[in-house]
Chains A and B, each alone.
Chain A
Amino acid sequence: MAEDQDHYLDNDEKTIVIVMTSGPSTPQRCATPFYLGAIMASMDVEVHIFFTMEGVRLMQCGIAESFAAMEGGKKIIDFIRDAKRAGVVLHVCQPALPGYKLDEDSDLIEEVDHVSRASVLADLVLRCDNVITF
C-alpha cells in the first residue's frame, strides 16, 4: 500500500557515498548533501561523504561557520553537525589539500573523521551501493 510505504521504513542496510566537489563559491549547493546524508544515516544507511576539489574548503576551520546555502538560512556548519550526529562519516581528500594551502593537522574542523587518499575513495565507490555527486 503506497500510503503505508510512505509512513513505515523497511529499507535494507546499504552503503552510500556522496562525493562533494562543491564549496563556498556555490553556497546553494552546500547544505543538501548533509541533509540528505543525515536522512539516509537515520535510515540505517552507511553514509560516507568524501570532500574533494573545492569541497575540501567546507572542512576548513572557520569556513562552514561563515555562510548559509540561502540568505538568512541555517549555517552550513550546523548541517554538518546534524549529519555527524546522525552517523555520517566525513572524509577529506588528502591530495586536494595542498591546492587550497590547507594543512591536515591544523586547518581542518574537528568534525572530519578521516583525511583519505584517493585510493580510499576508489575503494568506497567500488564497494558501495550508490554514489551521489554534488
Chain B
Amino acid sequence: MECNGCEFHSELHYDSEYQIWLRREHDDSLTVGMTDISQTIAGKILHVRVRRPGTVRDPGKPVATIESGKWAGPIPNFIHCVILEGNIEVLENPVLLNSDPYNAWIARVEASAGAEAALEMFLTGDEAHEGYCRRARDEDIHCQRKVR
C-alpha cells in the first residue's frame, strides 16, 4: 500500500505521527524501525547509533539517534522497555533505512509491560493507514526510497 509514494504496511504498529513502526516478534520482543515518511524527511542517513543492549529506556527516552546531511534527531520511544539489540547491518550501512525502511529495522526491545500491552497505544490497520495518508497529504510528503 502507498500514499503519495510512501510505503505503508497495515500489519505494523505506528505512533500517532508515523515516525516509527513496531512489529511484534515470536518471542514477544518488539522490532522498531523508521517509516518511509521519516526516512524521506531525514534524507540520506549517514549515521545511526543505538542505546547499548541492556539499557532501560523510559517513555520519551530515545532508542537511537540518527544523523543525515540535513537532519539530526532521535528515534523516539513511547514505552518503558529494555534494548535487546541493534541491527548491525543497519548500524554498518545506515542508508538501508532509506532504501528499504520496513526491512531495515533499527533496534529490538523488550517492553516491560509485555508486547501486547505496549502496542495498545499504537495505531495499526485501517486507522493507521488513514492517518498515515493524511500526514503525507497534509504535509505534501512524496517519498522516495532510492539512495539520494
Contacts and interface: CB of A to CB of B under 8 A. Distances in A.
B61 A7 contact: no
B63 to A, nearest CB: 10
B59 interface: no
Nearest to B91: A7
B51 interface: yes
B74 interface: yes
Interface size class of B (residues with CB under 8 A): 20 to 34
Interface string B68-92: 0011111000000000001010011
Interface string A76-94: 0000001001110000000
A98 interface: no
B82 to A, nearest CB: 14
Interface stretch (A18-26, A34-42, A49-57, A114-122): A34-42
A42 B19 CA distance: 15
What is the interface of chain A mostly: helix, strand, loop, or mixed?
Answer: helix
A73 B72 CA distance: 15
A73 to B, nearest CB: 7
Interface in B26-78: 48-53, 55, 61-62, 64-67, 70-74
A10 B52 contact: yes
A76 to B, nearest CB: 12
Contacts of A46: none
B67 A10 contact: no
B65 A39 contact: yes
A42 B74 contact: yes
Contacts of A6: 49
B15 to A, nearest CB: 13
A74 to B, nearest CB: 5
B86 A7 contact: yes
A39 to B, nearest CB: 4
The 6 closest A-B pairs by CB, nearest first: A42-B74, A42-B65, A10-B52, A7-B91, A8-B52, A38-B72
Interface of B: 48-53, 55, 61-62, 64-67, 70-74, 86, 88, 91-92
Interface of A: 6-10, 35-36, 38-39, 41-44, 73-74, 82, 85-87
